[in-house]
Chain A
Amino acid sequence: MHKDMKPRIQSFLPLLVVGALALAGCGGDDSSSNDPTTPTQPEVVVVNGEITGSETWTADNQYLIQGALFVREGATLTIQAGTTIFGDQATTGTLVVARGGQLIAQGTASNPIVFTSSAPVGSRARGQWGGLILNGRAPLNIPGGEKEGEGGTGTFGGNDPGDSSGILRYIRVEYAGIEFSPDNELNGIAFQGVGAGTACDHLQVHFNLDDAYEWFGGTAACKYLVASAAGDDSFDWTDGFQGRGQFWIAQQKGDDADNGFECDNLEGAVDATPRSMPTIYNVTLIGDPTENYGTQSARGMVLRRGTGAELRNFIVQGFKRVGVYVDQGSYGSDKTWLSGELTLGNSIITGNLQGSIDGPSGGWAFDLDGGDPEIADPYNLSSPDFMPSASGIARNGTLPVATPPNDGFFEAVDYIGGMGGTDWTQGWTDFSQN
């Protein structure tokens, strides 16, 4: 199909425009078309439309996604470590994995896969392309059990908690989150009904216009996530999310940021079932206490609209408003908070300008501490260091550390927060500011 050269693209790079359908089944053969006389300039492959077979993107090319590119049911997109993919701003480039489609994207710590803006370095900003949308067949709490993705990005939800959308490992998603419809920006990575069979670790969403990560229902289990400079919330869930998480770090940039966590059961019906009830251990949330202009919120965690959750080993530090906010009244999560479906424990809530916890008295919060975990350089935006000092309360054992379930996903730890004595963000993350 789209074999024509795009006249709009006046490129100084050799452009190879190939429709995704044409690529399907070709495997990684495209590298063979490289002109050996210009080995330093990678090919730019324009991709759009849909992938219906098996396709591989290789590190020796660059890829430009135009419009919404769909990996359809039964299709597989494999991306090699080290591959850079650009999202086109003019056409809202977005990668969508439909239910039953697979994205196999395995970077490495030294060779991550990067999804980024097509703007030149130095003029990159939030919202310059769409982002990554994964649709799966895991359960939701929407009546009927299915939901339509934003902007025609497909149906998601189902009744397979073990569903797999593929493998996501060592990936950066930068400068994404373009507005898809009014008041409806895209998340950096949207897990829409994604199942626990999806392998998901070592991801960074950086400078996204909307939430960095949002889980719409599903059972996804994600480890080693970094959310930096999100224009909205760093981590967000709704629609009956029942997944798991460990080793998450968020850093806010105060020009435009909302909450560290924003957690709902379901907006229109707070008691819809299955209730949002994820289990999350070892999280560090860093606010911007000096300059958080973005909105009224700027809280560490907002727990509301009937959500449940088990939250352990958290550090919530430096938010302009309160550290933990449990919304009350018919709109809130006070019922789950009082009933024990929503618990927070073994955590350090510190340095938040309007206090540690704002919630109904008698809730399920325990083993909390207001001391300083002595994180090395938490507010440095371009080269942060999130490691707490070994002698501080996060690591010195004064505050009991919760032991996560032994289910093959969680790792045993002896510290509070998203990082202990090893900086797992080294090598593959990037904190450039434009």
Chain B
Amino acid sequence: MKPHRIVAAAFATLAIMVSVSTSAQAQETGRIKGRVLDDYNAVTLPGAPVQVVGTDTTVFTDMDGAFDIRLAPGTYDLKVTFSGYDDSISRGVVVTAGETTELSVILSLGTVKMEEEITVTAEAPAATTQAAALLERKKSGTVSDGLAREEMSANADSDASEAMSRMTGVSVVGGQYVYVRGLGERYSNTTLNGSVLPSTEPDKRVVPLDLFPTSLLESVKVTKSYMPDKPAEFSGGLLEIEPINFPDGPVLSLSFGGGYNSNTTGKDGLSYPGGGLDWLGFDDGRRALPAGIPSEKVVPASRFGGGFTQQEIQAFGRSFENIWEPQETTGKPDTSFSILAGNSWDKLGAVGSITYNYKNRFRSEAQQFYALGEGNTGLRPTNDFDFRYSTYRATLGAVGNLSYRFSGSHRLAWENFYTNSGQDEARVFEGYQEDKGVPLRNQRIYWIQESVLSSKLSGEHFFPSLGNSRLEWRATYSRARRDEPDLRENLYEFRPSVGDFEWSNESQSGFRMFNDLTDNVYDGAVDWQVLLSGSGRSTLVKFGGEYTRRTRNFLSRRLRFKPTRIRPVDLTQSPEVIFQEENIGESGDFQLEEDTRPTDRYDATHDIYAGYAMVDLPITQRLRFIGGARVESSQQEVITKDPFDPTIGVVPANLDNTDVLPGLNVVYQLTADQNLRAAFSQTVNRPEFRELAPFEFTDIVGGRAVVGNPDLRRAKIMNADLRWEWFPAGGAADGEVIGFSAFWKDFTDPIEKVVEATAQFRNTYQNAKGARNIGFELEGRKSFGPYVLVGLNYTYTNSQIELERGAAQVQTNLDRPLAGQSPHVANAMLELRNRSQDLFGRVLVNYFDNRIADVGVLGTPDILEEGRTTLDVVVTKTFGTWALRLTGTNLTDAEYLFTQGGQFQRLFKEGRSISLGVSYSR
């Protein structure tokens, strides 16, 4: 289906769902909905009878421990009697016609406690509130931090990476990648709906989180200590993304917004004629490799056959669209739109959402490069460039979920998530390059389209007769694609003899590149858990297995126009004049030539077979042990091939390992609202495909080449965590918490990027001698009266990596902090609110300290990204079902400053952004 058809179909489906949901519900009765939970570990209790006292109504909780009772308006008492637990009576539950009353029934283990009153709340559905995220954290077996939908919304964060930057111990590097406790993105793993995600990045495992609009998400969570029922391939954090949940009743929300950026909107920038669907984030085919270009390599005929005649090559060359040069334009405002609708009918639940946003950004950037000075001291500048970047990014995302409940004990769900982002970039840079000895001018236009699709079918089955056992399974298919069609680049060189810039015959000039990457993940998992509560304490025993297969195919083609004669046309002209049709071909001045390299294609697979067993065991009334072990057997294979002849240049690389990975967590309940946690685990970090493949590759022209290392081993990491947390009584609604955590990590054979000497420098990877990472986190969130809420978090990290000196390596420092790790990272949030006026305001401050952006070579110091403070302000005013929101982002417009040896290396500003949004929800 064409992208716009998909969008149309999705809108139609949403419209139907909304119209159905608005006609729902008779108004005579009211409802009591709730869950029955174990007080000890917040495990939901299925099969528990909930009796409406004084009536003959008794319902049994379903597999989620949930119940739903329809009653005539009035006031009722609910009683729950369940084997092994004290009886519980909830008194005075008010039922109002047409309304739903929420109720949580918490059962304590058989003790001397008397019947106790249960709080009755009528808040929004629990899972979306920050309070619920906190309850989940409080009762969790692991060290984890979560952000719920309402909190992401209150912070006005538009994508998951922005949202996560507010979390304790998290910093976001390059706007896309999450560093948890100073550990690079390679030490994180991302799951959507519980399944590991494929990546759109050619050289990374993780997916860029700015692909995930927050309006499609229920919550994001960072689990910092490992448990055996989750993949063991992380050390910093497991980033769990949950798409929007099934609603309890009809929901509909709509929002629209517009924004202004001080660098962009109404300012001068660059652009070029693109495709008709660029505004949606899809290329309409205009940038595709022209239909006539053969699948064989475009080379002249060989005396041994093969190749193409000059006439054929001329036709190939003339089939490309003659558009090259960025043109001046004026910046557009940002726009955003989203719609969400859902309902539940008896056994069926459905929710769907579409979100769209469009962001235009202009940026000026200065870059300076250095080499070591004479006598091996000091730095001397070599290159000095001024860049102008203009980017246009459209993101379209959709969620469509269906759930069907066969009975209280069996449920099937089908959940689908899709996001697509198309970014168009026009770039020019100009400046002096020492090697050339003259000023250069470079122009590039570049389209990247990235998408993630995930479809999950899952089932939950509760078997009361099999010792209250619960079976969950899922089968997920996910696909990530990255399509970079028709990158176009030209280089002009200043010629003193001409007194002007002339087109230069270099490899990134007259150049067109087409890259295509597809990453597939097939994930199947079965978990079986038994709740043993007969002994007086509830012990949870859990077993499971998981199979994950990841496959990747990558193909690149590089073509360029090369001059065929000594003095071609006037080269000071624009590329559109130089490469006009009559100048291309046999009798012209230029001929197309293919520069695709023998290593421009690779296919890779990674299979992980995993099985685990764990228990959640009450040792005493206050002490809980959660732990077990997971066995992971991993088989990685990368095969590099000649793109045109799969029998040539075949370079395989393999890595197979089987590891037993224990995870042990202890929770000690100091008081009813304070926990002390300790965790210890062993996790692994495996090389990414590209890191293992022994071929040299340059992703983007001008970037440093990268070569993999087939001798890499997987790294093993020992993790220890300690956390004290206090959830002050009565502070749940505001998500109040005070916490202190400490962590210690020790790495064996960590995989680290190093720099090698070749004709030009290139990156490769090695197993370093070792690394360690220690630090602590502080966090607090507290309300002061009805009008003020304050949140603070701070993380200190100290890391050290010790590299092995490889013979060909030229990086300056062998002992240094991990790249990208800031010693200090902090967040502060101040909320001022007037509930009676429905007015909320938030001020958000984010700070990180200096971090290594790139390592120095041949005696030059490492390049540092200097610390930066950003300030955002959000004001929201609601009018019943309508809300108005004013957001100011990056209000201090702090400099992005990179330095080397104290001298500026790179400098730019992103500009201040102001946006205004209107939303409707009911």
Question: CB within 8 Å of B: which residues of A?
Answer: 2, 4, 6, 8-13, 15, 44, 48, 64, 66-68, 86, 88-92, 118-120, 123, 128, 142-152, 155, 157, 179-185, 254-256, 266-272, 291, 293, 296-297, 330-331, 335
Contacts and interface: CB of A to CB of B under 8 A. Distances in A.
B437 A296 contact: yes
Interface in B795-820: 805-810
Interface stretch (B5-13, B73-81, B536-544, B700-708): B700-708
A91 B595 contact: no
B333 interface: no
A67 B696 contact: no
A280 to B, nearest CB: 22
A332 B404 CA distance: 76
A269 B378 CA distance: 11
Contacts of A128: 300
Interface stretch (B130-138, B165-173, B502-510): B502-510
Nearest to B593: A127
Contacts of A297: 437
B15 interface: no
A229 to B, nearest CB: 12
B307 A90 contact: yes
Contact of A146 (B296, B695, B808): B808
Contact of A152 (B496, B506, B694): B694
A229 B682 CA distance: 61
B762 interface: yes
Contacts of B507: 179, 182-185
5 nearest A-B pairs in the assembled complex, by CB-CB distance: A10-B305, A146-B807, A268-B858, A255-B566, A144-B807
Contacts of B595: 179
Nearest to A119: B300
A8 B859 contact: no
Interface in B84-142: none
Contact of B508 (A9, A183, A254, A271): A183
Contacts of B150: none
Given A91-B649, A144-B805, A268-B857, A181 B302 contact: no
Contact of A144 (B374, B376, B808): B808
Interface in B647-674: 647-649
A257 to B, nearest CB: 11
Contacts of A10: 305-306
Contacts of B508: 182-183
Interface stretch (B230-238, B753-761, B769-777, B898-906): B753-761
A256 B857 CA distance: 32
11 contacts: A9-B304, A11-B304, A48-B649, A86-B304, A118-B303, A119-B302, A120-B303, A123-B301, A144-B807, A270-B374, A272-B858
Contacts of B499: none
**What size tier do the contact residues of chain B reach?**
35 or more
A179 B434 CA distance: 22
B922 interface: no
Contacts of A256: 505
A15 B302 CA distance: 14
B757 A152 contact: no
Contacts of B248: none
Contact of B762 (A148, A157, A291, A330): A148
Interface string B363-393: 0000000011111100010100000000000
Contact of A267 (B371, B436, B642): B371
B372 A268 contact: yes
B642 A67 contact: yes
Interface in B431-461: 434-438
B371 A296 contact: no
A335 B305 contact: no
Most buried by B among A86, A91, A256: A91
B49 interface: no
B678 to A, nearest CB: 44
A226 B809 CA distance: 34
Contacts of B867: none
Given A144-B809, A269-B371, A184 B759 contact: yes
A217 to B, nearest CB: 10
B566 A90 contact: no
Interface of A is mostly: loop
A354 B35 CA distance: 90
Interface in B509-540: none
Given A91-B649, A155-B807, A9 B306 contact: yes
A10 B305 CA distance: 5
A265 to B, nearest CB: 11
A282 B790 CA distance: 81
A155 B808 contact: yes
B648 A67 contact: yes
A145 B376 CA distance: 17
Most buried by B among A88, A155, A268: A268
A180 B597 contact: yes
B682 to A, nearest CB: 34
Contact of B434 (A255, A266, A331): A331
Nearest to B762: A148
Contact of A269 (B597, B705, B858): B858
Contacts of A9: 302, 304-306
Contacts of A11: 304-305
A142 B810 contact: yes
Given A92-B598, A152-B707, A181-B597, A269 B493 contact: no
Contacts of A66: 645, 648
Contacts of A15: 304
Most buried by A among B303, B508, B645: B303
Given A11-B304, A179-B507, A150 B493 contact: no
Interface string B710-722: 0000000000000
A331 to B, nearest CB: 6
Given A86-B303, A148-B764, 18 more contacts: A9-B302, A15-B304, A64-B304, A86-B304, A91-B642, A91-B644, A143-B858, A144-B806, A144-B807, A152-B707, A155-B808, A181-B705, A267-B435, A268-B857, A269-B376, A270-B372, A296-B495, A330-B380
A147 B757 contact: yes
Contact of B598 (A12, A67, A119): A67
A83 B649 CA distance: 25
Contacts of A44: 304
Given A8-B306, A92-B597, A296-B437, A184 B372 contact: no
Most buried by B among A12, A48, A182, A266: A182
A88 B307 CA distance: 11
B378 to A, nearest CB: 8
A4 B437 CA distance: 50
Contacts of A118: 302-304
A268 B642 contact: no
A181 B645 contact: no
B299 A89 contact: yes
Contacts of B756: 147-148
B357 interface: no
B698 interface: yes
Contacts of B318: none
A296 B493 contact: yes
Contacts of B759: 150, 184
Nearest to B858: A268
Given A9-B306, A11-B304, A330-B380, A148 B707 contact: yes
Contacts of B2: none
Nearest to B302: A118
Nearest to A150: B759
Contacts of B698: 181-182
